[in-house]
Structure 1
Amino acid sequence: MKTRFILCVSLCLLAFSVPTEDPSSWSIDAVHSNIGFKVRHLGISNVRGEFLDYDAEILMDGTDLSTLMVSATIEAGSIDTGNERRDGHLRSDDFFGAEEFPNITFTSTEVTNIEGNNFHLVGDLTIRDVTKSVALESEFLGTTKMGDSERAGFE
């Protein structure tokens, strides 16, 4: 269950980016992005939540998914499930240990299994100073112009 939670958190980080001056560098559009998750609870219901404080750098040449690189930092203590008691438990040493380990990080290492707009984003996920390689099933939703900038979407 913890692994699924971690993967969902990392995957959602990629939603809706906005390019900066460098055409291959993208920044997070905080108004249209979130790091959300859904975790099965007792096998009969789902708990949903999000992390409110995060930052990421996304690099990609045009729409060439093979060039995608992501580096993200999430503030573990910013977790919000809509239930303060549960959030406190998740921040505790039982889960994230947010006081001693304030950051969750993800750094991509490669993109594999590209089929159309679907791909696996492989990278190193670090929680509580423990790093594990994960492969995130992802989808590139495309790009669109909005004002003077181009936006890209990922799930």
Structure 2
Amino acid sequence: MKKVTLFIACLFASAAAFAQTWTVDKAHAKVGFTVTHLLVSDVDGNFKTFDAKITSSKPDFTDAVVELTADVNSIDTGNERRDADLKSDKYFDAAKYPTLTFKSNSFKKVEGKKYKVTGDLTMHGVTKPVTLDVTLNGPIPHPMNKKEIAGFKIAGELKRSDFGIGTGTPVAVVSDEITIRANAEFGKQ
């Protein structure tokens, strides 16, 4: 019995040893969102300051753990007045909740390069589960440094009301549905 237990412990230890960390190449990444304004036009925004990593021991990423943090104070919609409004307590309340986080608990292959990532998104002090669509490009060797890289396109929708963001703003002014999108290149460490 001791030999079996020792063998299983070694097996788990060796699997953990093969887990690889992939870090985001911020020069080739963007974390953004889109809302509808006055029911007629889309307004895009992004977070200029963020960090992300992926840990996976499988080459197809089916055991991946995705972790993201974004600085709410870095929100950028191309309009300083609107950005200040979004950072205020009317929306994100960046003074009280300066960080947005996501940590996955499932990364499942749907077919081909298509995946679903499910995890906990925390913003404005509220944590909710979200599921996002992922398209994986790669992995391939980087043409310059020969290290392995992979690209991820991530998209999905959530409701700002689920996170208590902008509860005083009617949906006819700013949509409740927020489209999330991220494009990121990651390098294996």
* TM-score of Structure 1 vs Structure 2, range by shorter chain: 0.7 to 0.9
User: What TM-score, normalized by structure 2, do the two folds share?
Assistant: 0.66
Which among 21, 34, 50 is matched to residue 38 of structure 1? 34
Determine the structure 1 residue equivalent to 2:146. Answer: 148
Stretch moving more, 105-114 or 73-82: 105-114
* Whole-angstrom CA distance in 1 between matches of 2:149 and 2:119: 23
Query: Any residues of structure 2 matched to 1:2-41 within 5 Å, and which?
Result: 24-41=20-37
Shift of 1:50: 1.1
* Larger of the two Rg values belongs to structure: 2
Matching of residue 125 in structure 1 with residue 124 in structure 2: no
Determine the structure 2 residue equivalent to 1:139. Answer: 135
Determine the structure 1 residue equivalent to 2:99. Answer: 103
Residue by residue over 1:28-75, the C-alpha shift from the partner in whole angstroms, topping out at 9 and shown as x without a partner, is 101111112222222211111210111122112353231111111110
Residue by residue over 1:103-151, the C-alpha shift from the partner in whole angstroms, topping out at 9 and shown as x without a partner, is 0000001123622211110000001221000001111122221223111
* Whole-angstrom CA distance in 1 between matches of 2:57 and 2:122: 26
Say which SS state the counterpart of residue 62 (structure 2) adopts: helix
Query: Any residues of structure 2 matched to 1:38-57 within 5 Å, and which?
Result: 38-57=34-53
The alignment yields a C-alpha RMSD, in angstroms, of 1.6
Give the gaps of 5 or more residues in structure 1: 1-21
* Whole-angstrom CA distance in 2 between matches of 1:112 and 1:62: 12
Give the gaps of 5 or more residues in structure 2: 1-17, 154-189
Determine the structure 2 residue equivalent to 1:84. Answer: 80
The total of aligned residue pairs comes to 134
Stretch moving more, 120-129 or 143-152: 143-152
The percentage of counterpart residues that share the same residue type is: 40
Stretch moving more, 100-109 or 55-64: 55-64
* Whole-angstrom CA distance in 2 between matches of 1:67 and 1:93: 38
Stretch moving more, 63-72 or 128-137: 63-72
Q: Is the 8 A contact 2:62 2:109 kept in 1?
A: no
